[in-house]
Amino acid sequence: MHDHGVCLEMLYQARRRIAGEAVRTPLERSASLSARFDADILLKLETCQPTGAFKLRGAVNMLAALIEDRGREALSAGVVTASTGNHGRAVAHAASRLGVPALVCLSRLVPANKVAAIEALGGEVRRVGASQDEAFSEVERLVSERGMTLIPPFDDPRVVAGQGTIGLELMEDCPDLDRVIVGLSGGGLLGGIGAAVKAIRPACRVTGVSLSRGAAMWESLKAGHPVEVEEVESLGDSLGGGIGRDNRSTLRLVREVMDDHLQVSERAIAAAMVDILEQEKRLVEGAAAVGLAAIEEHGLDVRGQRVALILSGNAVSLSTLDRARALAGR
């Protein structure tokens, strides 16, 4: 096992735990994008998860692992997390399915549609502060004072292993994949997918895509330690937030498995969101469109390659989509 704590065996254990809760999502070839880039462009449709995003995999795996290890009674005080939305939805959904109370702390920046979605799944929402880090301080208080159990959004090997089941599916559905392009913020998604892909097919390139502003992982990788950055509003709001001051696993893991790292502008994200809606008839949030945005904005030469883009989630409101269309000039 590597020092970041995620090995292939953990990924297969995660797959066993999440079966029946998180779905095995389709990997579809995009005819229009394949023609545009003279490549095989494959779309991994995490938008098909019951909660609309990949986060369900990690939340279910961590909760199921905790119940296996400690028994359900140990979680009677409930589970708690901080989230920009999709992880909160995943925890609320997984907890209700597994019969455990859940509380989600959100910053005031999180859009109202995401708050409503968490509450609809039976999770209790508490809004605190103007950043992920402030919301996380409230989580720490609830853990120490009320004995709640933290379900971290990304920085835990059990969460990472859950997201890594996407990598297992990619390798089974397309064993000769040349490159996978993954949105990157906290590193749970890219770290998990990268751990799977590099263990099975080391030649496959893992490309991370961060926002051009407010990208904590980008700054942290450059500095060699966790760096806090100011959060800014973005179409790719799911890629905002810090990586945690005492990041234990994802910073190391991302450094180990990622081959290249690109940043994308708001305009590129907007154009990619509109493209995916118009060409693929799929509604995706900004964070799910960054793979296409990166190919376009950086002119990535993918000719003749098999490339998987992770369409990570569909939590987008019509007003955000209107903003994207205006910015893309469409």
Q: What is the pLDDT of residues 171-186, one digit of tens each?
A: 999 999 999 999 999 9
Higher pLDDT, 86 or 101: 101
Q: Residues of the chain with pLDDT > 70: what percent?
A: 98
How many residues are present in the chain? Answer: 330
pLDDT value at 230 more than 90: no
Q: Which of these CATH numbers, 3.40.50.720, 3.10.180.10, 3.30.200.20, 3.40.50.1100, describes 8-52+156-328?
A: 3.40.50.1100
pLDDT value, residue 4:
52
Provide mean pLDDT across the span 78-97. 89
Confidence category of residue 123, pLDDT binned at 50, 70, 90: confident
Confidence category of residue 84, pLDDT binned at 50, 70, 90: low
Asked if 261 and 207 touch (Cβ cutoff 8 Å), the reply is yes
pLDDT value, residue 56:
96
Q: Which two tokens stand for residue 86?
A: 């999709």
Q: Residues of the chain with pLDDT > 90: what percent?
A: 78
pTM: 0.93
Catalytic residue among 44, 55, 114, 198: 55
pLDDT value at 202 more than 70: yes
Confidence category of residue 232, pLDDT binned at 50, 70, 90: confident
Mean pLDDT over all residues of the chain? 93
Give yes or no: 312 in active site. yes
Give yes or no: 96 in active site. no
Confidence category of residue 330, pLDDT binned at 50, 70, 90: confident
- Same topology between domain 8-52+156-328 and domain 55-150: yes
pLDDT value, residue 132:
75
CA 77 to chain centre: 27
Provide mean pLDDT across the span 176-202. 97
Catalytic residue among 30, 185, 249, 312: 312
- For residue 28, with 0-12 CB atoms within 10 Å meaning exposed, 13-18 middle and 19 or more buried, which class applies? middle
Chain segment 35-83, per-residue pLDDT in tens = 999 999 999 999 999 999 999 999 999 999 999 999 888 899 999 998 7
pLDDT value at 2 more than 80: no
Q: Which CATH architecture has domain 55-150?
A: 3-Layer(aba) Sandwich (3.40)
Provide mean pLDDT across the span 106-113. 83
pLDDT value at 1 more than 60: no
Domain ranges of the chain: 8-52+156-328, 55-150
